[in-house]
A and B are shown apart, each in its own frame.
Chain A
Amino acid sequence: MADEDDKGKSKTPAAAGAPPKLDRRELLRGLSTVPALGLFGYAWSRQQQHRRGTEAAAATTPAAAAGLQEINVALLGAGAQGQVLMESMLRIPGLRFRAVCDIWTEYNLRRVVNTLKRFKQEPNGYEDYREMLDKERELDAVIIATPDFWHARHTIAALKAGKHVYCEKEMSNTLEGARSMVLAQRETGKLLQIGHQRRSNPRYIHAYQKLLGEAKLLGRIVTVAGQWNRAVAPDLGAPDRYAIPADKLKQYGFTDMQQFRNWRWYKGLGGGPIVDLGSHQIDIYNWFLGASPSGVMASGGLLYHDPKTHQWHDTVMVIYDYDTPLGPAKAYYQTQTTNGSQGYYESFMGDQGTLLISESELNYPGQLYRDPNAPAWDEWIQKGYISAPKEQEAKEQTASGAVADVRESVAPDQHTVPVSLRDPYHQPHLQNFFDAVRGKAALNCPAEIAYESAVTVLKVNEAIDAKSRLAFKREELTI
């Protein structure tokens, strides 16, 4: 080698710019910044370690305990919601993805299988759920995130194949569907959890058990209000080259890709925003009030969107009547899809206080207002159930210079609920399901409870059509 270099040198002695030979010195200089990459690698691994540490500390359950029974799971429905659930499940120890099933094989199925492979999972991909249930004998549980009108068929097939099922809400787009799911669960004795994930959210559990149950901070709840305001969003599209063939779409109950992608807006497939969004929150009304409603009035319509591609109401306003164990109450709910201001929350107002709560960690993550006439809450602050009150400014005038009218109520004390969720919103509910599969917990939202919510919510669309108050019959709510 040195020989060749010498030759080269001797041939071009005059070329001042010619590179010198590649000796040790040159080599070292060429490699001189490589250690920086090593340093980066070290810093990166330290940082990853630290991140994993904080994640483990914040997780709802201790990370992978030795000897944790591994659960074989399949994801049925790998669309947007299926992917949300998958991300949460990837953070839960002791799960093995065996299969993924989606009819959009070229897009969703491929995408999710590839993602799972990145996380060292080796799922088989299926288009037909029956084939999956037939072949994947060792499955313990099926997670269902398909369009609402498929829930009953998918859930019942999985239960009858001997699998535990976690099915997204709304349980079904029809009451018959929801009812048949409850019956199949009873018949098979398998677990059926419905995805009303607030039921497992630590803040909601804290509010229900400690604030309402033990401390009774609100007194008697008389009015409830809640909303989910969502901004206009363009219809979901699909690239032509990934379009599902027409005959396959038809086979699975869709007329075209527009409908397949935007099924939530179509009658017979979904239930519209009141079901997609409202069902989560109205479920909380039932839970916190300890009752199902006795009647409902509702008004709604397709006020904004194109009726050619949207069938369900984009705007809905509902009033429920409740007969709670403490007395009558009324609950208002609205959802609209033209403006996202003020987002989503539920507000429970009793004669002693108000609880403003939402699933969001950013907006309305739990505020409590103590009515000035209510007994002091010091005891609950000492116990750590609620924060100390926010100090009120002693100003008589507002910032704008306006003077408060003497007849205005004295402003209530404002406290916060000191519980937050650092995991993805769906993780605790899935964790609860898998804990139940291992026999270590009871389901937070079993079929019967979700059925009551389904009846409560699906009745709204009926009441809008009826244009009058509809009463809930006792036999409707129970099976």
Chain B
Amino acid sequence: MEATTFARAPMIAITALRVLVGWHFLYEGLSKLTAPSWTAAGYLKQARGPLAEQFRWLTTRPDLLASADLITMWVLTIVGVCLMLGLFTRLASVIGIGFLLMFYLAAPPWIGYFYAIPSEGSYLLVNKNLVELAALVVILLTGSGRFAGLDRILHRLIRRSPRLAAA
């Protein structure tokens, strides 16, 4: 990814997408951090799909669950800030994709699963977690942070330092 070979207009659109996804991550993280006792226990207890056993097992271990809650809240928040600023965009995207994949797999909208926790839409195989995950893949692959974001500045600085040393 030395230089983006994409046209300007699509890159602006992808940058806007990055900011929006980052906004959503940041708010999901912050709202959990500021709630006095948020926990993923309820979400995990109704887990379905290939990892259901593991997710449910997690809810029986209060110590692990507490760590998982803490990690989730902070990762969402930090990834959100990074995406909005375009800072370490690719790393943030990869981590975001990992978490979204976990969220998706904890409650996949697959045929034959019926959830009691309400969802705000209607889904068949594809839900908003998956769509957001796909958006992050686009952001990852296009290096939007280097188009418009702190990564651009960082990139310049890092690129310059060996030359400075040589000089």
| Distance of A60 from chain B, by nearest CB (Å) | 18
A13-56 interface (Cβ within 8 A of B):
16-22, 26-27, 29-34, 36-37, 40, 44, 48
The reply to whether B62 and A236 contact each other, CB–CB distance below 8 Å, is yes
Main secondary structure of the interface of B (DSSP, over half): helix
Measured CA separation A309–B23 after assembly (Å): 48
Q: With a CB–CB cut-off of 8 A, which chain B residues contact A5?
A: 160
Number of interface residues of B (CB under 8 A): 39
The reply to whether A18 and B37 contact each other, CB–CB distance below 8 Å, is no
The reply to whether B148 and A30 contact each other, CB–CB distance below 8 Å, is yes
Cβ of A83 under 8 Å from chain B: yes
The reply to whether B86 and A33 contact each other, CB–CB distance below 8 Å, is yes
Cβ of A287 under 8 Å from chain B: no
Identify which of A30, A83, A111 contacts B149 (C-beta below 8 A): A30
Measured CA separation A179–B62 after assembly (Å): 36
Cβ of B27 under 8 Å from chain A: yes
Cβ of B150 under 8 Å from chain A: yes
A229-244 interface (Cβ within 8 A of B):
234, 236-239, 242
- A36/B23 contact (C-beta < 8 A), A7-B167, A30-B152, A237-B60 known: yes
Q: With a CB–CB cut-off of 8 A, which chain A residues contact B117?
A: none
Cβ of B36 under 8 Å from chain A: yes
The reply to whether B150 and A31 contact each other, CB–CB distance below 8 Å, is yes
| Distance of B85 from chain A, by nearest CB (Å) | 6
Q: Mark B149-167, 1 if CB is under 8 A from A, else 0.
A: 1111111110110011001
Cβ of A71 under 8 Å from chain B: no
- A8/B81 contact (C-beta < 8 A), A22-B157, A32-B149, A44-B27 known: no
- A37/B81 contact (C-beta < 8 A), A22-B160, A87-B36 known: yes
The reply to whether A29 and B163 contact each other, CB–CB distance below 8 Å, is no
Measured CA separation A31–B153 after assembly (Å): 8
Q: Which residue of B lies closest to A38 (CB)?
A: B84
| Distance of A305 from chain B, by nearest CB (Å) | 16
Identify which of B60, B66, B156 contacts A19 (C-beta below 8 A): B156
B7-35 interface (Cβ within 8 A of A):
15, 18-19, 22-23, 26-27, 30, 34
Q: Which residue of A lies closest to B149 (CB)?
A: A33
| Distance of B21 from chain A, by nearest CB (Å) | 11
8 A-B pairs in the complex with CB atoms less than 8 angstroms apart: A5-B160, A20-B156, A22-B157, A26-B152, A36-B19, A37-B81, A40-B23, A239-B61
- A-B pairs, top 3 by smallest CB distance, nearest first, are A17-B2, A30-B153, A30-B152
Given A17-B2, A32-B148, A239-B63, 9 extra CB contacts under 8 A: A30-B86, A30-B149, A30-B151, A31-B150, A32-B149, A34-B150, A40-B26, A40-B27, A83-B37
